[in-house]
Structure 1
Amino acid sequence: MKSKLRSKWGTLSCMMLVGALLSTCWGQSSAVHASATAYKFDFGAGSVVSGYTGVQASTAYNPSTGYGFNTPSNIKNVSASGTGIGSDAVQFVTFGTKSNNTFNVDLPNGLYEVKVTLGNTTRSSVAAEGVYQLINMTGDLATDQFQIPITDGQLNLLVTEGKVGAVFTLSALEITQVSTNPTTHPTIYVGGDSTVANYYPLANSVQGGWGQMLSKFINQNDYLVRNMASGGQIARGFRDDGQLEAILKYIKPGDYFIVQLGINDTNAKNNTTEAQFKEIMRDMVKQVKAKGATVILSTPQGRATDFDSSGVHHAEGRWYRAATIALAQEENVPLIDLNILSSAYFTSIGANATLALYMNGDTLHPNYAGATELARIVVENMKAQGLY
């Protein structure tokens, strides 16, 4: 939702190019930006880190500066537990992907890399241009980044729900233009549940999802990886609650959508039969195929303890696997049968080594090392099928 006060981006860019010092409403001077296509904002009421522009909760969007909050009355300054840019933050009091309670930045049209540092929060998601960009960033001062095309001269960003009852905070924002062409690079979009999702810090989290690790095995010059998976997710929720919407906004011919669901759909509390699961998945497949992208269905791996008395790991009957396999055949889309592929690997390393790839006391969720192995298996199978 765009501010009606938007100016031409040239006002901001010209001021930055000549190195003008912009005075903030509380008397501090904002940092000088290096160019019209690189912006760094430090949020909160504390001191401003050198090289950043300070932004308080009361900083309203202004055409003359080209940045600010659309509704500052719904933002408040809060502290944070880090240092530097992580010592303070702002909190979004109202939120939601369609909310107009956004931080707006005038930008020349193009493709941008946006780096987000949250404040203190248990779990938050980041939305921009009315759709999710980052899903369920967990823990204080979590950091992640995404690429986004800007086609209307302004970025509109907010921090929003990742967990009911959490606070949604933002400590810092860095925006860098990647290209003057507002077209996304070839991208592998990933959908799924907690066995696929990102965990933070991304580089050394204890728990891991294979979607988080996929970029370790994908050449970033070939494809970017955008992981939209989230813990506890079911097919209906992924389709209807904003994650598929975000993918459909950007996905294009040449891109991939790998989706793995079914674990939580089998839980009675989610009231989804296997037939219903299959048709919801079919709907998502059709919507993505209509965008000209390639859909890849994946079956989930089994539990760490799915070994028989002969030391063979097998979990073929789990997680609505049969429906996923049938759907891939009916819709003529590739299948990564991670269930079978991971079982073969687990059998080769044995029960004890397999258990070591899962979280302590948890036979379902992989740890960082386990998620890395699953991602390796996924990419190896993509290569074997000629998909990558």
Structure 2
Amino acid sequence: MKSKSRSKWSTISCILLVGALLSTCWGQSSSVHASATAYKFDFGAGGVTSGYTGVQASTAYNASTGYGFNTPANIKNVSASGTGIGSDAVQFVTFGTKSNNTFNVDLPNGLYEVKVTLGNTSRSSVAAEGVYQLINMTGDLATDQFQIPITDGQLNLLVTEGKVGAAFTLSALEITQVSTNPTTHPTIYVGGDSTVANYYPLANSVQGGWGQMLSKFINPNDYLVRNMASGGQIARGFRDDGQLEAILKYIKPGDYFIVQLGINDTNAKNNTTEAQFKEIMRDMVKQVKAKGATVILSTPQGRATDFNSSGVHNAEGRWYRAATVALAKEEQVPLIDLNVLSSSYFTSIGANATLALYMNGDTLHPNYAGATELARIVVDNMKAQGLY
């Protein structure tokens, strides 16, 4: 997958000497690299937005420029519905987290902030260094960012499947060095299903997951939040299909992994008994604990309609909650019993106000406001337990 040459360091040295030499070093008549640690790429066959380096599907990786596609034959130029950087894109024709169909950028080793803007796509994920980085970005021109350590002199990034049959496109990429030390900041990794996942645009989506809103209540100087949850996910899928793999690649002592599953596991079509669910979750707990990080198990909130005739909300019999509660005790890991905590909150505000926190005509999935309240409850309980 890596296409490297030691000659890239001459490129970087040249960039470091003086910004005026950038066009010579990178072979761009109007290079936009402000320094050796800031890079901006505009993808597609249309015009190049000021301040960006243009990259077309045919742009092959070249050690003298330090960037390009590893297999340009598997990339094509496509249009997009936005303006500026969002007016065009490239589409990844082949995909998969292990694909060598990557966009490669030579970088000095360190920690980087990577911002991606997709083109037109219904749902796509972003992978780099062979693992997922962003899960199920939904909607045209979705934007998100992540931090990644680079330890081998090159970033290898691609857009891949979030939904089979979707077009996996990339309109723009911005890369900024955060530190010369390739060590991730303290991080809270989150795993779960559609009640936890991100929805786009992140700042004002209609639907929300509490993992999406968690950063509203976490000081970024204390922890970054990396939400790896995805709609429809079950414990077996989270463990086996790449999401846990991405977390295990980066998680370290001092980090947290909060995982909430069980809703979809209870669906008969997924063929997962409560005993099987518990043991799969146990396996994930053990793998993360072996990395020296702290696992926090969470139980899912109930449905908006789980009120009894006395106006009390109770959902304790749902979503394999008993298995999660028992597992936390057996493995001696913290438990956020969001099922019970949210029920207490829902009871306090009443049935009508609770229903207003869910999507219209949907008693399971929270809207933006509902997800925000759930995230607040999660963080409040972390504080109550001395975890934050």
TM over 0.5, shorter chain? yes
Q: 1:242: which partner in 2?
A: 242
Q: Is the 8 A contact 2:260 2:298 kept in 1?
A: yes
Give secondary structure in 2 for the equivalent of 1:82. coil
1:17 aligns with 2:20: no
> Is the 1:5–1:61 Cα contact (8 Å) retained in structure 2?
no
CA contact (8 A) 1:107 1:155 kept: yes
Q: Distance in 1 between matches of 2:171 and 2:260?
A: 33
Contact residue 23 and residue 29 of structure 2 kept, 8 A = yes
String of CA shifts for 1:111-135, please: whole Å, max 9, x gaps.
0000000000000000000000000
Instruction: State the Cα deviation string for residues 267-301 of structure 1 (Å, max 9, x = none).
Output: 00000000000000000000000000000000000
- Tell me: CA distance 1:363–1:208, structure 2 relative to 1, closer, same or farther (3 Å): same
Cα shift at 1:24 = 12
Q: CA–CA distance in 1 between the matches of 2:129 and 2:353?
A: 44
Q: Is the 8 A contact 1:120 1:141 kept in 2?
A: yes
Deviations 1:149-169 (A, max 9, x none): 000000000000000000000
Instruction: Identify which range, 127-136 or 24-33, moves more after superposition.
Output: 24-33
CA RMSD after TM alignment: 1.7
CA offsets per residue over residues 237-273 of structure 1, 9 Å max, x none?
A: 0000000000000000000000000000000000000
Distance 2:277 2:155 in 1: 36
Equivalent residue, structure 2, for 1:165? 165
- 2:55 aligned residue: 55
**How far does residue 22 in structure 1 lie from its aligned partner after superposition?**
6.8
Residues 21 and 29 in structure 1, CA contact (< 8 A), matched pair in contact too: no
Are the equivalent residues in 1 in contact too, given 2:28–2:53 (CA < 8 A)?
Answer: no
Q: How has the CA–CA distance of structure 1 residues 278 and 6 changed in structure 2, closer, same or farther, with 3 Å as cutoff?
A: farther
Displacement of 1:31 after TM fit? 2.8
Q: Distance in 1 between matches of 2:101 and 2:163?
A: 18
**Are the equivalent residues in 1 in contact too, given 2:190–2:211 (CA < 8 A)?**
yes
Per-residue CA deviations over 1:335-356 (Å, capped at 9, x if unaligned) read 0000000000000000000000
Q: State the TM-score, normalizing by the size of structure 2.
A: 0.97
Distance 2:335 2:89 in 1: 44
Comparing 216-225 and 29-38, the one that deviates more = 29-38
Cα offsets for 1:30-87 (capped at 9, x unmatched): 4331100000000000000111000000000000000000000000000000000000
Taking the aligned partners of 1:110 and 1:69, their CA distance within structure 2 comes to 22
Pair 1:67–1:26, CA change in 2 (3 A): closer
Give the Cα separation in 2 of the matches to 1:263 and 1:20: 57
> How far 1:6 moved relative to its partner?
6.4
Paired with 1:279 and 1:119, the residues of 2 have a C-alpha distance of 40
* Deviation of 1:204 (Å): 0.1
Maintained 8 Å contact 2:4/2:63: no
Corresponding position of 2:5: 5
User: What residue number does 1:354 align with?
Assistant: 354
Q: Deviations over 1:298-348 (max 9, x none)?
A: 000000000000000000000000000000000000000000000000000
Give the SS at the match of 1:24: helix
| Contact 2:14 2:22 survives alignment (8 Å) | no
Question: What's the offset of the Cα at 1:4?
Answer: 4.8
Contact 2:25 2:65 in 1 (8 A): no
- What is the deviation of 1:15? 3.6
Question: Does the 8 Å contact 2:15/2:35 carry over to 1?
Answer: no
Distance in 1 between residues matched to 2:51 and 2:16, nearest whole Å: 12
Normalised to the residue count of structure 1, the TM-score between the two structures is 0.97
Residue 23 of structure 1 and its aligned partner are, at CA, apart by: 7.1
Aligned to 1:188, the other structure's residue is in SS state: strand
Query: Contact between 2:15 and 2:25, CA under 8 Å: does it hold in 1?
Result: no
User: Post-superposition shift, 1:175?
Assistant: 0.2
d(CA) in 2 for partners of 1:26 and 1:292? Answer: 42
Is this contact kept in 2: 1:258–1:295, CA < 8 A? yes
User: CA separation in 2, counterparts of 1:283 and 1:7?
Assistant: 44
Change (3 A) 1:88 1:22: farther
Instruction: Tell me if the contact between 2:191 and 2:257 (Cα under 8 Å) persists in the aligned partners.
Output: yes
Structure 1 54/12 Cα, relative in aligned 2: closer, same or farther at 3 Å? farther
Classify the secondary structure of the residue corresponding to 2:104: strand
Distance in 1 (CA, whole Å) between partners of 2:199 and 2:2 is: 31
| Contact 1:42/1:55, CA 8 A, preserved across alignment | yes
Shift of 1:199: 0.1
Contact 1:17 1:36 in 2 (8 A): no
Contact 2:23 2:31 (C-alpha < 8 Å) held by counterparts: no
Q: Single out whichever of 27-36 and 145-154 deviates more from structure 2.
A: 27-36
Query: Aligned pair in 2 of structure 1 residues 53, 384: CA closer, same or farther (>3 Å)?
Result: same
Q: CA 1:54–1:321 in 2, change beyond 3 Å: closer, same or farther?
A: same
Secondary structure (helix, strand or coil) at the match of 2:173 reads strand
CA distance in 2, matches of 1:271, 1:17: 61
Partner Cα distance (1:226, 1:19) in 2: 34
Shift of 1:370: 0.1
Q: Secondary structure at the match of 1:23?
A: helix
Could you tell me how far 1:17 is from its partner in structure 2? Answer: 4.8
Number of residue pairs the alignment of both structures matches: 388
Q: Is the 8 A contact 1:7 1:106 kept in 2?
A: no
Structure 1 segments of 4+ aligned residues over 6 angstroms from their partners: 21-28
Q: What's the CA shift for 1:29?
A: 3.1
Q: How far does residue 26 in structure 1 lie from its aligned partner after superposition?
A: 14
User: Does the CA contact (< 8 Å) of 2:119 and 2:141 recur in 1?
Assistant: yes
1:133 corresponds in structure 2 to 133
* Closer/same/farther in 2, CA of residues 350 and 41 from structure 1, 3 Å limit: same
- Distance change (3 Å), C-alpha of 1:13 and 1:229: farther
Structure 1 pair 177–27 and aligned structure 2 pair: CA distance change class (3 A)? closer
| Cα distance between partner residues in 2 of 1:280 and 1:147 | 28
**1:113 and 2:113 matched:** yes
| Structure 1 spans left out of the alignment, 5+ residues | none
Whole-angstrom CA distance in 2 between matches of 1:84 and 1:379: 38
Contact 1:95–1:160 (CA under 8 A) maintained in structure 2:
yes
